[in-house]
A and B are shown apart, each in its own frame.
Chain A
Amino acid sequence: ETGVTQSPTHLIKTRGQQVTLRCSSQSGHNTVSWYQQALGQGPQFIFQYYREEENGRGNFPPRFSGLQFPNYSSELNVNALELDDSALYLCASSYGQGSLYGELFFGEGSRLTVL
């Protein structure tokens, strides 16, 4: 069974640029959630995708957007990067819609530094 994989693991961007982060969900999972974890803080929910549609969003501006593909992998896109976007971005996969369906399995994250 393949776990959740994320790429790239580390990247450096400058303010104003755009970034795309990728996530392959665990085999058999059809839901992907994205979280932002600033240094020394707990993860914060960005949004979730279920069967290729956004299924819930946290308090993040529209410049944070995402996609889910037919194979359930996902992308997180951030436009017009700001210094405060520097964080560890975590992807989690799970099966089913609604919180009754099992636990979230997290990847190791993509660490983004914005200069």
Chain B
Amino acid sequence: AQKVTQAQTEISVVEKEDVTLDCVYETRDTTYYLFWYKQPPSGELVFLIRRNSFDEQNEISGRYSWNFQKSTSSFNFTITASQVVDSAVYFCALSEINYGGSQGNLIFGKGTKLSVKP
């Protein structure tokens, strides 16, 4: 069965600190996608990144970076120099790769609530 675990329920940091959000996943599929979404208080999920299981290169986008390690089934997310606007709930998610079946079946973790204080 597929499963995503985000062990950190809540994290609180002071502005400008670096913070890493952990994500561990389980799947029997050899090919899959991993995602991170941000959910601000307004409720909509904002897409941050999608990474397929073939590509283990780490990725950096501005203050955001992602560390994908297939050997430990982890896909961690780091925010450098955090800002108050980064306060939100962050979700890690997993989906199978398929060529015609359901695209929508994302398996989400329970989320990590990040609070960045000024």
Q: Which residues of A contact B (CB under 8 A)?
A: 4, 31, 33, 35, 40-45, 47-48, 50, 55-58, 88, 90, 92, 94, 96-101, 103-109, 111
Contact = CB atoms under 8 A, between A and B. Distances in A.
B102 A43 contact: no
Contact of A42 (B43, B97, B109): B109
B103 A99 contact: yes
B115 to A, nearest CB: 15
Interface residues of B, number: 30
Interface of B: 4, 33, 35, 37, 42-47, 50, 91, 93, 95-111
| Secondary structure of the B contact surface, majority rule | loop
Contact of B97 (A58, A88, A92, A99): A99
6 contacts: A41-B111, A45-B107, A47-B104, A48-B103, A96-B103, A98-B103
